[in-house]
């Protein structure tokens, strides 16, 4: 099992500052080797969200080493924490600042192409039906990755163990992968009506994958 994590942001301000965070996120694994499968993306069509960072961690211990690393506090958080004078984060109420799940790395591994990540509040009792929907769409209309899991990380963002937020806004995540952004955008309708019928709300983010340092193999 591996810990899959997403940070989805609304950035505002000078383009140079957003580029600074993009560079810091892309290079993160060079300085914190515990950060695996790191890639960024520019979210389109989901305003105000405009930036995605996806990563993974081999264990809660690996995640904690990331959390206490000076690179995290001094460089990444420079752009993300409102108490930092260099913060570029614009507030939103979409609840996708930190979401994620537990999975096998082979399930989501995709160092190029595009993602669609859907964070959702699933309707009571709909988990099995949504899991069947996600499984049925794997391999259909260009969907090369289809992982449906509960939003395990949303409640455990501090150390990947302790529940610090017992009621994150989103209960589940559907991560999709495609060979290209065009393929992701083309795959847009076959699953949508059923997905909407099984959820109370969905936040959908699509982006081309820009692989970061070291994103090459499922092992790391």
Partner 1 sequence: MNFAPVHIVDTASVAPAHALHYAQLIREQLAPVMRDAGAPMIELRRTSDQLGEDVLVQVVWNVEDHAAWNRVRRNFFMDPRWHAVWAEIAPLRRGGTRRFFYPMLEGAEA
Only one residue has tokens 């081999």, namely: 58
**In angstroms, how far is the first alpha carbon of the chain from the final one?**
13
Given the complex with partner 1, which of 43 and 99 has the nearer CB atom? Answer: 99
The strand ranges marked E within 34-154 are 36-41, 51-57, 99-103, 114-122, 145-150
The residues in 145-174 that bind partner 1, with binding defined as CB under 8 A, are 158, 164
Note the helical H segments in the chain.
15-31, 60-67, 70-71, 77-80, 105-108, 127-137, 181-186, 192-198
Query: If binding is defined by CB under 8 A, does position 60 make contact with partner 1?
Result: no
- C-alpha 106/C-alpha 205 separation (Å) is 21
Residue 203 per-residue DSSP state: E
73 binds partner 1 (CB under 8 A): yes
Among 27, 33, 58, 87, binds partner 1 (CB under 8 A): 87
Considering the rule CB under 8 A, would residue 78 count as an interface residue with partner 1? yes
Rounded distance between C-alpha atoms, residue 189 and residue 61, angstroms: 40
Cβ-based nearer residue to partner 1, 78 or 123: 78
Binding mask 88-107 for partner 1 (x = CB under 8 A): --------------------
Out of 61, 86, 161, 196, which residue is the one contacting partner 1 (CB under 8 A)? 86
Instruction: Select 84 or 188, whichever has its Cβ closest to partner 1.
Output: 84
| 3-state secondary structure at position 46 | coil
Q: Does 19 bind partner 1 (CB under 8 A)?
A: no
Q: Which residues bind partner 1 (CB under 8 A)?
A: 67-70, 73-74, 77-78, 81-87, 158, 164
């Amino acid at each position: 099992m591996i810990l899959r994590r997403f940070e989805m942001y609304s950035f505002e301000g000078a383009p140079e500052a957003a580029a600074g965070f993009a560079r810091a996120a892309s290079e993160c694994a060079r300085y914190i080797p515990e950060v695996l499968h790191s890639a960024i993306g520019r979210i389109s069509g989901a305003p105000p969200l405009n930036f995605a960072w996806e990563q993974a961690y081999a264990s809660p211990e690996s995640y904690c080493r990331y959390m206490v690393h000076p690179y995290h506090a001094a460089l990444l958080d420079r752009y993300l924490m409102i108490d930092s004078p260099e913060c570029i984060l614009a507030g939103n109420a979409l609840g996708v600042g930190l979401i994620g799940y537990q999975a096998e790395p082979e399930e989501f591994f995709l160092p190029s192409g595009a993602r669609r990540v859907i964070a959702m509040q699933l309707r009571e009792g709909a988990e099995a039906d949504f899991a069947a929907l996600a499984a049925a769409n794997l391999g259909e209309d260009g969907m090369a990755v289809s992982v449906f899991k509960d939003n395990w990380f949303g409640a455990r963002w501090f150390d990947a163990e302790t529940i610090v937020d017992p009621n994150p806004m989103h209960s589940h995540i559907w991560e999709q992968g495609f060979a290209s952004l065009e393929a992701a955008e083309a795959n847009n309708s076959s699953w949508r009506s059923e997905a909407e019928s099984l959820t109370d709300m969905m936040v959908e983010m699509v982006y081309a994958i820009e692989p970061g340092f070291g994103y090459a193999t499922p092992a790391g």
